[in-house]
Amino acid sequence: MNRVVQIRQTGGPEQLQLADVAVGDPGPGQVRIRHRAVGLNFIDCYHRSGLYPLPLPAVLGAEGAGVVEAVGDGVTHLKPGDRVAYAHNEPGSYCQVRVMSARPVCKLPDAIDFETGAAMMLKGMTAQYLLKKTLPVEGLQPGDHVLFHAAAGGVGLIACQWARALGLQLIATAGSDEKCALALANGAAHAINYRTQDFVAAVKDITGGRGVKVVYDSVGKDTWEGSLNCLRPFGLMASFGNASGPVPPFSPGVLGAKGSLYVTRQTLFTHLRSREATQAMADDLFAVVASGQVKIHVAQRYPLEDVQQAHRDLEARKTTGCTILTL
């Protein structure tokens, strides 16, 4: 039998329940993986709460790492015994064993352990597409300032390090002095405690009044207006999450008045639309981690049985870096 965490109805962390279910053999194009560790992400909370609806009952979880047990017909890039890791837009990683599409599954280099692999795929490839693909119309050059909200979280700490490797001046925001110090220790050029500072005024001061070319924002409602006010003319507002709630409707005319701004709402899984694109992004992530330029901070570990507490801590913003469930 296979131990899983599932929800039968949406709601709070108390809806996360352990169950034992059978797992079968992989069909064509599928693979069966025995997990060694599973990543925890804020999107899991959106699925649990119903903000991003799923057919119920549902097993949550978007990333994991483990060993291939079996492959189905047509799978050529994997074989039984391979060490693998993945991020997938079809939830289901909160379990010991799962059968899933082989398309998003990538071989995990021997130099990267399972916990790191489970923690880094969704967050690391998110940082990759933001810094490498989600770019302002004028591009990004070494020395340019970018603003990154929630910079002490899993995506943020990876982005701080990767931005430094690219020569960018990343301005981090976080909700405590300790989290700001963590962002600075991981490569942020500046850090702003948004609970004690006006981040718009601080960004303008740091940039000599010019503003930044791009804002990377996973917070949503609480930072939206301020983020727009941090951008220079033709700047890009790159929204990729709603940790504080969805952004309310706004008039496009606001973008013109604030400097002919651009707005995009990005999702990782649009970037992972093909096997080739997934592998290329994973290879870029594996390379920067193996080089030591980016270190993956697994700061919290919870047994699968403690998943309710893991969700409570994540939503209370008590976590830093990456969080995993252990099996």
Distances 66 to 4, 86, 327 between C-alpha atoms, Å: 15, 9, 10
Strand-pairing partners, residue 175, are none
Strand-pairing partners, residue 238, are 216, 264
pTM here?
0.90
Q: How many residues does the chain have?
A: 327
Query: Per the structure block, which two tokens stand in for 224?
Result: 């939206």
- 273 Cβ contact list (under 8 Å, min separation 6): none
Domain ranges of the chain: 2-123+272-326, 135-265
Can you spell out the DSSP letters for 209-253? T--EEEEEESS-TTTHHHHHHTEEEEEEEEE---TT-PPPP--TH
Q: What is the pLDDT of residue 243?
A: 78
**Fold observed for domain 135-265:** Rossmann fold (3.40.50)
Pairing of strands 30-40, 97-101: antiparallel
Q: What is the pLDDT of residue 42?
A: 87
Q: What is the pLDDT of residue 221?
A: 86
Q: What is the pLDDT of residue 10?
A: 96
Q: What is the pLDDT of residue 108?
A: 96
Rounded CA-CA distance 11/76 in Å is 40
CATH superfamily of 2-123+272-326: Medium-chain alcohol dehydrogenases, catalytic domain (3.90.180.10)
Q: Using 50 as the pLDDT threshold, list the residues of the chain that sit under it.
A: none
Q: Where are the alpha helices (DSSP H) in the chain?
A: 42-49, 114-133, 154-165, 177-185, 199-206, 224-229, 253-257, 268-271, 275-290, 307-315
CB 66 within 8 A of CB 114: yes
Pairing of strands 106-107, 262-265: unpaired
CB 213 within 8 A of CB 203: no
CA angle 124, 309, 127 (to 5 degrees): 10
Q: What is the pLDDT of residue 105?
A: 97
